[in-house]
Amino acid sequence: MDEQPRLMHSHGVGMAGHPGLAQHMQDGTAGTDGEGRKQDIGDILQQIMTITDQSLDEAQARKHALNCHRMKPALFNVLCEIKEKTVLSIRGAQEEEPPDPQLMRLDNMLLAEGVAGPEKGGGSAAAAAAAAATGGVGADNSAEHSDYRAKLSQIRQIYHTELEKYEQACNEFTTHVMNLLREQSRTRPISPKEIERMVSIIHRKFSSIQMQLKQSTCEAVMILRSRFLDARRKRRNFNKQATEILNEYFYSHLSNPYPSEEAKEELAKKCGITVSQVTKKPIHLHCQVQVSNWFGNKRIRYKKNIGKFQEEANMYAARTAVNATSVSAHGSQANSPSTPNSAGEIWTLDYFDFLSFNPRLTCTVILSEDRSLW
């Protein structure tokens, strides 16, 4: 290594250019006769003709010599510094980026759908949950669900292989570029920092590609969802037993048909309404929601047209009354109002407002109960 400083001269590429050429020039100037000159010119021409043959080696040699120059590291550092000041300072501002909210949204969704996350764990856990939930009532829709799950796992697989492919490509490309830059950094000023920046640019580029993948995967899942699980498309009526139970509760709590969370859960369990009905959100605890839906619909529809439900009401009231008398002793008719509206109000509506709004119902209500109102 200590002989490097002399390399340039020993190779003869330093200042005079072509060594042989310089030699001959000197010889030429030394000679005085025209013959010698002609000879020299001929030599030069000859060498010029052959110079292209040597140029590659020549360049290599030159490069090598330059590399090994003792001032090279210092010069390189200075150049890097200058470059950094001029170039990097311009771009330096936009370096850091906050985590993209869109990307986070996509990630969350993929995770929630069981596409991302643990390869088998999330998927099979969700599948198991779905299967367990379906076990209650739906023999028919378990087939639907399995179809859905199959498609979903297909999507998941594609997603993962693509993701892996991208990651691999990213790594390969990064190392390639890094090698290239490292190689080039021997002849032109490239600081490690710059390489780092390049790498981060590459990563950003690839992650934007990944985001596209995530986007399209999300879309695919949404389409799958709307195809298979959109409740409105694939609505199933509750079976007869379930509606019986729900109606029973409704009419026996007619004065306050607002089941608590526990009651809803109880009802859902009793009816076998698990997630048998299709749902939109991640398959979770939708039994209560369904019960809530049912009660919401029932309340509103009952209130809208009590007359139409009168018969039904009487029927269930009679049934609960029979049950009450047959099962228990006589005194406990606390929560079995055999006729509706014994409290004088329909839940939220004041009684008199209600009457004035629905004159045709006055007969029903008044005749049925509560003479004290007269």
Partner DNA sequence: CGCGATGATTGCCG
Partner DNA sequence: CGGCAATCATCGCG
Distances (CA, A) of 330 to 40, 208, 248, 252, 333: 138, 74, 20, 17, 8
**Site map for DNA, 279-318, x if CB under 7 A?**
xx--------xx-xxx-xx-xxx-x----x----------
Using CB under 7 A, which residues numbered 119 to 148 contact DNA? Answer: none
Which residue's CB is nearer to DNA, number 118 or number 296? 296
* Per CB under 7 A, 258 contacts DNA: yes
Which residues, other chains included, contact 37 with Cβ-Cβ below 8 Å and sequence gap of 6+? 28, 31
Q: Would you say 224 and 148 are in contact if contact means Cβ atoms under 8 Å apart?
A: yes
Q: Would you say 134 and 148 are in contact if contact means Cβ atoms under 8 Å apart?
A: no
Choose one: 28-36, 62-70, 216-224, 228-236; the region binding DNA (CB under 7 A).
228-236
Binding residue for DNA (CB under 7 A) from 146, 174, 216, 243? 243
Binding residue for DNA (CB under 7 A) from 38, 70, 234, 269? 234
Which residue's CB is nearer to DNA, number 204 or number 308? 308
* Per CB under 7 A, 357 contacts DNA: no
Rounded Cα gap, residues 211 and 102, in angstroms: 9
The single-letter code of the amino acid at 170 is C
Total number of residues binding DNA (CB under 7 A)?
28
Q: Please give the helix or strand (H or E) that residue 362 lies within, else none.
A: helix 362-368
Measured distance between the N- and C-terminal CA atoms of the chain, rounded to whole angstroms:
117
Binding residue for DNA (CB under 7 A) from 2, 32, 90, 232? 232
Rounded Cα gap, residues 137 and 268, in angstroms: 11
Look at the alpha carbons of 94, 98, 103, 105 in this order and tell me if their dihedral is positive or negative: negative
Q: Would you say 368 and 306 are in contact if contact means Cβ atoms under 8 Å apart?
A: no
In 3-state terms, what secondary structure has residue 335? Answer: coil
Binding residue for DNA (CB under 7 A) from 44, 231, 263, 366? 231
Which residue's CB is nearer to DNA, number 91 or number 234? 234
> Least Å distance between CB 351 and DNA?
15
* Per CB under 7 A, 233 contacts DNA: yes
* Per CB under 7 A, 351 contacts DNA: no
The single-letter code of the amino acid at 307 is G
Q: Would you say 352 and 324 are in contact if contact means Cβ atoms under 8 Å apart?
A: no
**Site map for DNA, 177-216, x if CB under 7 A?**
----------------------------------------
Which residue's CB is nearer to DNA, number 3 or number 311? 311
Choose one: 32-40, 67-75, 137-145, 236-244; the region binding DNA (CB under 7 A).
236-244
Q: Would you say 70 and 5 are in contact if contact means Cβ atoms under 8 Å apart?
A: yes
* Per CB under 7 A, 226 contacts DNA: no
Query: Which residue ranges make up the site for DNA (CB under 7 A)?
Result: 231-238, 243, 258, 277-280, 289-290, 292-294, 296-297, 299-301, 303, 308, 347-348
